[in-house]
């Protein structure tokens, strides 16, 4: 973005404007989010140089999900923990890569927030140069919860999120976030090293022309999901839908946010509870979808109404534009 051609609004300037909506925030919210933006700049620098440095491939350890950690998973997790631990307003950090939430700044009256994140969504795709991303969710410490009980800080429904977002590391690096008053996108300008406002007040189209799902697992989906996919392909909604599936949740949702349509991650025979993590994948996406005018369900109910029972709880996810999602709800109900 040429500096001479447009007025530059950085993500920090935008956040400082947004934090005025939080009485008594006095700069802590912008400083908290600056930890996320700094960490994601560090991550994107590693992603950009992945083929030139020894960061590709497996790290060798198994994370709490039972998945083999990639080297970039570990690097990304360390970057976020390092940057966020320096923010005194943060009391708890919870990551996909750590079995238990981390208590930071124990006993500090300034520690009011918990940040839950997936450091590098889709990291198994990095070897073949497919877009990957970071997701995050910010929660306020509930009243009456002890400082030394980190699980209680984060086991809150998505409706309690005060902000959430993601970063896509693709042909450009884009940060998308919401603090409950619209969805805004910022593209990292390498010339100045800052995220610059590029997509203000993002809205999801009322209807799209793409559906996104891993159809290789269709035989393992509940029957109603396969029937709904057939419904989309039949043109009953007035559109001949095309299939688009990347395999990185953040990238697939980012396309859905911009272009409309529907992204489905159903339960399967092997994963009857779904595969995506509720707290740091589905909830951030659900907040952004709703703020942009879309709908996010676990197949039956609003994602952000689910009361979590564990840090790494999984869930199915169906998210997208109002036309497709309203039809999905009616279709599912007709099958009950």
- In the prediction, which pLDDT does 336 show? 65
* Cβ(95)–Cβ(81) below 8 Å: yes
SS3 231: helix
- In the prediction, which pLDDT does 62 show? 54
Structure tokens given for 26:
């006095």
CATH code 3.30.540.10 region(s) in the chain: 11-199
- In the prediction, which pLDDT does 2 show? 45
Structure tokens given for 148:
């030394």
| CATH of 210-334 given 3.30.565.10, 3.30.420.40, 3.40.190.80, 3.90.1150.10 | 3.40.190.80
- In the prediction, which pLDDT does 106 show? 75
- As a whole number of angstroms, the distance between CA 83 and CA 89 comes to 12
* Cβ(45)–Cβ(53) below 8 Å: no
* Cβ(298)–Cβ(274) below 8 Å: yes
- In the prediction, which pLDDT does 1 show? 41
pLDDT in tens, the chain (336 residues): 444 455 789 998 888 877 776 655 567 888 899 999 999 999 999 888 766 555 554 545 555 555 556 788 899 999 999 999 999 999 999 999 999 999 998 767 789 999 999 999 987 777 787 899 999 999 999 998 887 889 999 999 999 999 999 999 998 999 999 999 999 999 999 999 999 999 999 999 999 999 999 999 999 999 999 999 999 999 999 999 999 999 999 999 999 999 999 999 999 999 999 999 999 999 999 999 999 999 999 999 999 999 999 999 999 999 999 999 999 999 988 876
- In the prediction, which pLDDT does 332 show? 87
- As a whole number of angstroms, the distance between CA 202 and CA 66 comes to 36
Q: What is the pTM of this model?
A: 0.92
CATH code 3.40.190.80 region(s) in the chain: 210-334
Please state which CATH number belongs to domain 11-199: 3.30.540.10
């Amino acid at each position: 973005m040429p500096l001479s051609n447009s007025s530059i609004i950085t993500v920090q300037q935008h956040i400082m404007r947004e934090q005025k909506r939080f009485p008594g925030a006095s700069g802590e919210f912008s400083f908290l989010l600056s930890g996320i933006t700094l960490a994601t700049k560090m991550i994107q620098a590693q992603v950009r140089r992945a083929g030139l440095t020894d960061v590709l491939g497996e790290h060798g350890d198994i994370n709490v999900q039972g998945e083999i950690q990639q080297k970039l998973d570990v690097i990304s997790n360390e970057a976020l923990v390092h940057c966020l631990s320096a923010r005194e307003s943060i009391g708890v950090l919870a990551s996909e890569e750590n079995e238990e939430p981390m208590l930071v700044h124990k006993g500090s009256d300034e520690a009011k927030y918990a940040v839950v994140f997936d450091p590098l969504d889709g990291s198994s795709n990095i070897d073949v140069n497919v877009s990957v991303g970071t997701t995050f969710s910010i929660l306020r410490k509930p009243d009456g919860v002890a400082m030394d009980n980190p699980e209680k800080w984060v086991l809150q429904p998505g409706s309690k999120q005060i902000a959430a977002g993601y970063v896509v590391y693709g042909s450009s690096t884009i940060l998308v976030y919401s603090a409950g008053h619209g969805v805004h996108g910022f593209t990292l300008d390498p010339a100045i090293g800052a995220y610059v406002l590029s997509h203000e007040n993002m809205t999801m189209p009322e209807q799209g022309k793409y559906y996104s799902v891993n159809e290789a697992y269709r035989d393992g989906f509940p029957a109603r999901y396969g029937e709904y996919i057939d419904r989309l392909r039949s043109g009953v909604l007035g559109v001949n839908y095309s299939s688009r599936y990347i395999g990185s949740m953040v990238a697939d949702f980012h396309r859905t946010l911009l272009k409309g349509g529907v992204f489905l991650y159903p339960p399967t025979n092997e994963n009857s509870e779904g595969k995506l993590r509720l707290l740091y994948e589905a909830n951030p996406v659900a907040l952004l979808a709703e703020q942009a005018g879309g709908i996010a369900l676990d197949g039956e109910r609003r994602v952000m109404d689910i009361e979590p029972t564990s840090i790494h709880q999984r869930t199915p996810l169906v998210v997208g534009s109002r036309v497709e999602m309203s039809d999905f709800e009616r279709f599912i109900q007709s099958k009950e």
